[in-house]
Structure 1
Amino acid sequence: MGTDQTPAQVDHLPLNRSVRWRGLHLQTLEHCHIIANGRDTRIRGTIIGPDFGLFYRLKLDENGHPRTVKIERTDGKMLELFSDGAGGWSDDRAEPIPALRGCIDVDIWPTPLTNSLPIWRQDWQDDQPVSFAMAWIDATALSFKRSEQIYTRLDADHFRYQSTDFEAVLEVDADGIVTDYPGLFTRF
């Protein structure tokens, strides 16, 4: 199947569920809802921190590629990005973002939900690392940059996540959604 495996193809179509995490590092609470129907995947989430609140929305196409990312903080500031699904990104004025060229997935801080995006699409083999170019977004600052990340499936319930300066072993459920991100997030 290659890298075009969507959540609908991971043996749980349709996916229509809510998930909650407690952020251990920033002391956040998060609630998100995921709907995958084979045509697209829509994700809406809310994160409440000690000194911020924000909403995020993601729309993935039928291949599991992010197409729309919208983050709105409770102070009214907002970031909206669009992808062509092939690594081309633009802002809300349709201006290209060269720094994100080639990034297929998005990784939003501070949520573990976006760790599921590459997990959902990849046809995994245990102990075979796979590299991803990510559009990394700091939702608290509404800033973004390119991030090279490596995921390695250790077994059906665990993935090693590596970036330039960080490494963790993530525990996931049968839907590929993080249940435990040691030191950062735990599901409840």
Structure 2
Amino acid sequence: MSPLPASLFWERRDTSGSEHALVDARGGLYARGTVLAIDPIPFTCRYELRTEPGWSTAHIDVTAEGAGWVRSVRLELAAGRWRATTAEQGNLDAVLSAAGHAGAGLPGIEDPDQLYGAYDVDLGGSPLTNTLPIRRLGLLKAEAGVSHRISAAWVLVPSLEIVQADQIYTPLGDNRIRYASETFSAELTVDDEGFVVDYPGLARRVQ
């Protein structure tokens, strides 16, 4: 495993937790990261992400685990079609139920064709993956106020269920990007490379 040249660290605001990503943004993005959180139950999530040179997602490997369970998913995009490979040990549903939460969906996605037309992956709770559409669409240099609607492959954490999600990114100038989904919006502050510095309500970068 080769060392990577840059390190990013976020402190979660929505729950007790953090994310640490090691990244190489030369010629697209390659990243290895770890997410820690206690909501809805304590878990660790590790991921490896690679994009094409134009910043569309090539693949992401994610493993989430907690007491009594572990799940993994590999999501790949090739020739415009997604493929998901999953594995599961233990019983996440039972752990969630014991903690007073609803059960989780199965890891992966039953019909990957639902993701047709999506070029970005969105890992739940991870500010790193917001960078993918920002860089792919060139939003740091795009006209302010013009919205860009995308379809994303949203990986829910900790279940690793994958769903199609409609999202809107609007550049506002001065390294600010408005992100919106059907039920949520936030004004993100990013650095000159498009990595999130401040995501109100979710995370703040501390390094």
TM-score by length of 2: 0.78
1:155 corresponds in structure 2 to 173
Matching residue within 10, 22, 27 for 1:21: 10
Instruction: Tell me if the contact between 2:125 and 2:202 (Cα under 8 Å) persists in the aligned partners.
Output: no
Matching residue within 156, 162, 172 for 1:144: 162
Counterparts of residues 31-70 of structure 1 (less than 5 Å):
31-38=20-27, 40-50=28-38, 51-70=42-61
Q: Are 2:171 and 1:180 equivalent residues in the alignment?
A: no
Q: Are 2:121 and 1:106 equivalent residues in the alignment?
A: yes
Instruction: Tell me if the contact between 1:19 and 1:187 (Cα under 8 Å) persists in the aligned partners.
Output: yes
1:89 corresponds in structure 2 to 82
Identity among equivalent positions (%) equals 31
Task: Give the alignment's Cα RMSD to 1 decimal.
Answer: 1.8
Matching residue within 63, 72, 78 for 1:78: 72
Give the secondary structure class of the aligned counterpart of 1:125: coil
Give the secondary structure class of the aligned counterpart of 1:99: helix
CA distance in 2, matches of 1:159, 1:125: 11
* Structure 1: runs of 5 or more not aligned: 1-14
Deviation at 1:92, TM superposition (A): 2.4
**4+ residue segments displaced more than 4 Å:** none
CA distance in 2, matches of 1:111, 1:167: 15
1:134 corresponds in structure 2 to 152
Deviation at 1:162, TM superposition (A): 0.7
Letter in 1 for 2:72: M
CA distance in 2, matches of 1:110, 1:79: 16
Deviation at 1:116, TM superposition (A): 0.5
Higher mean Cα deviation, 163-172 or 40-49? Answer: 40-49
* Structure 2: runs of 5 or more not aligned: 87-109
CA distance in 1, matches of 2:172, 2:157: 29
CA distance in 1, matches of 2:180, 2:37: 25
CA gap of 1:174–1:133, structure 2 versus 1, over 3 A, is same
Give the secondary structure class of the aligned counterpart of 1:118: helix
CA gap of 1:85–1:164, structure 2 versus 1, over 3 A, is farther
Deviations 1:2-59 (A, max 9, x none): xxxxxxxxxxxxx931100011112111100111222x42111101112001101111
Give the secondary structure class of the aligned counterpart of 2:201: coil
Larger radius of gyration: 2
CA distance in 2, matches of 1:161, 1:84: 26
Aligned residues: 171
Q: Are 2:158 and 1:169 equivalent residues in the alignment?
A: no
Deviation at 1:157, TM superposition (A): 1.4
